[in-house]
């Protein structure tokens, strides 16, 4: 992945200008908290203090996971295809939410078991789903690298089409199992510490899921110091595409919004491969999945939204957009100390 050598640190001059811009707004210094931090970060990504986050979109990476054979989910793989169709037709949950914040939604087939024929479905298909990680590796290293590359290139395509910010989402039955396995490998935690109920597993289902992850880690022995090894042994094509999107954000200088647990696991993989990529990521919410907070802390992010969400599809990431829109109305507004004929506040300790 030669393109990773192109990744540069954020534009510190633009960030300093954005900070100065915020300090000229007639309000207590730093009083919009994390929203101010996000706008300053966006200035560094976009190389200008004139931050704009429209047009924007959501990329929903869809894939199937062989580990469903272990009884780790409530529904079968047919659900992945059904939701992918709805996504492509503009009918799924994320489409409805995105319509309220003027964001376009793109469904991406990274490797579903069923081939879905929809005009608006983007195909980056690697194969018809991964292998069962409780038995063998999910995919080959070559397939993992191909899927990551597809995610990187897709961000480039979105930039060419004018999108200034991208939210990440996913759809794939069984993917909380694969994501938890990846998290266990990277964080060096036992499955019982991180496993969650996903789409609502019973106690028996939760036990099967925990055992499947334990077996996956035991059988495959992923190398926690090699993120691609972890991905190809216990991950999924959706996670690989998401990982590529986070790397692509850094390559193409486009801010990428983390969604829930599965998206954050992909962000963690991207950060492990290329630490500079985290500069181009923004956190949105913390999922109710047990590992979500741990992963965000590992990445060094403080989520803005705490709503107990765990829907996926990018729905949590979308909640950041209206908050940023409100912050930017203030940032670009005329309510400044100068316009009020007042002296600006001076730093006096505390949060600045």
Instruction: DSSP letter for 80, please.
Output: H
- Mean pLDDT, residues 99-121: 97
Decide: 350 and 295 in contact? Cβ < 8 Å: no
Q: Looking at 185-189, 197-201, 211-215, which range is the least confident one?
A: 197-201
pLDDT band at residue 349, thresholds of 50, 70 and 90? Answer: low
Q: What gap in Å lies between CA 304 and CA 34, rounded to an integer?
A: 7
What pLDDT does residue 41 have?
98
Pick the CATH number of 2-51+329-340 from 1.10.1610.10, 3.40.630.30, 2.102.10.10, 3.40.190.10: 1.10.1610.10
What pLDDT does residue 189 have?
95
Decide: 287 and 311 in contact? Cβ < 8 Å: no
CA angle, 281 as apex, 188 and 3 as ends, to 5°?
A: 90
What pLDDT does residue 198 have?
64
What pLDDT does residue 199 have?
61
pLDDT digits (tens, 9 = 90+) for 265-320: 999 999 999 999 999 999 999 998 889 999 999 999 999 999 999 999 999 999 99
pLDDT digits (tens, 9 = 90+) for 142-192: 999 999 999 999 999 999 999 999 999 999 999 999 999 999 999 999 998
- Mean pLDDT, residues 96-111: 98
pLDDT digits (tens, 9 = 90+) for 66-88: 999 998 887 889 999 999 999 99
Residue 351 confidence (pLDDT) above 60: no
Largest CA distance in the chain: 70
10 Å CB burial of residue 329 (0-12, 13-18, 19+) is exposed
Catalytic residues: 313
Decide: 38 and 324 in contact? Cβ < 8 Å: yes
Give residue limits of the domains in the chain: 2-51+329-340, 56-323
Q: What gap in Å lies between CA 21 and CA 336, rounded to an integer?
A: 9
Reported CATH class of domain 56-323: alpha beta
Q: How far is CA 117 from CA 127, 169, 175, 220, 275, in A?
A: 15, 20, 22, 34, 37
- Mean pLDDT, residues 132-136: 98
Decide: 269 and 138 in contact? Cβ < 8 Å: no
pLDDT digits (tens, 9 = 90+) for 317-341: 999 999 999 999 999 999 999 999 9
pLDDT digits (tens, 9 = 90+) for 25-53: 999 999 999 999 999 999 999 999 999 99
Reported pTM = 0.96
In 3D space, the residue among 283, 300, 242, 275 whose CA is nearest the CA of residue 4 turns out to be 275
Place of tokens 């989520």: 303
Residues 6+ apart with CB under 8 A from 218: none
């Amino acid at each position: 992945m030669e393109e990773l050598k192109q990744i540069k640190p954020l534009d510190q001059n633009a960030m300093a200008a954005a900070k100065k811009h915020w300090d000229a707004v007639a309000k207590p210094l730093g009083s919009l908290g994390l929203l101010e931090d996000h706008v300053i970060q966006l200035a560094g990504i976009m190389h200008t203090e004139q931050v704009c986050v429209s047009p924007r979109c959501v990329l929903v990476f869809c894939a199937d996971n062989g580990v469903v054979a272990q009884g780790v989910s409530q529904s079968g793989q047919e659900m992945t295809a059904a939701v992918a169709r709805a996504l492509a037709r503009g009918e799924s949950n994320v489409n409805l939410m995105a319509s309220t914040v003027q964001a376009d939604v793109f469904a991406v087939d990274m490797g579903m078991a069923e081939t879905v024929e929809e005009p608006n479905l983007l195909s980056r298909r690697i194969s018809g789903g991964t292998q069962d990680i409780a038995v063998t590796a999910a995919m080959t290293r070559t397939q993992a690298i191909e899927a990551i590359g597809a995610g990187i290139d897709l961000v480039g395509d979105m930039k060419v089409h004018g999108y200034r910010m991208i939210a990440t989402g996913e759809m794939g039955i069984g993917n909380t199992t694969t994501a938890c396995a990846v998290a266990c490998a990277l964080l060096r935690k036992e499955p019982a510490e991180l496993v969650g109920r996903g789409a609502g597993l019973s106690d028996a289902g939760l036990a099967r899921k925990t055992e499947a992850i334990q077996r996956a880690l035991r059988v495959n022995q992923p190398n926690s110091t090699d993120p691609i090894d972890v991905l190809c042994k216990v991950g999924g094509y959706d996670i690989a595409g998401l990982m590529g999107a986070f790397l692509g954000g850094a390559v193409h200088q486009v801010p990428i919004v983390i969604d829930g647990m599965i998206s954050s696991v992909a962000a963690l993989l991207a950060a492990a491969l290329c630490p500079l990529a985290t500069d181009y990521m923004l956190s949105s919410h913390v999922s109710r999945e047990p590992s979500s907070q741990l992963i965000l802390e590992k990445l060094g992010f403080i989520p803005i939204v705490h709503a107990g969400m765990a829907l996926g599809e990018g729905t949590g990431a979308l909640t950041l957009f209206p908050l940023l829109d409100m912050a930017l109305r203030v940032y670009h507004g005329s309510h400044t100390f100068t316009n009020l004929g007042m002296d600006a506040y001076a730093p006096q300790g505390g949060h600045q």
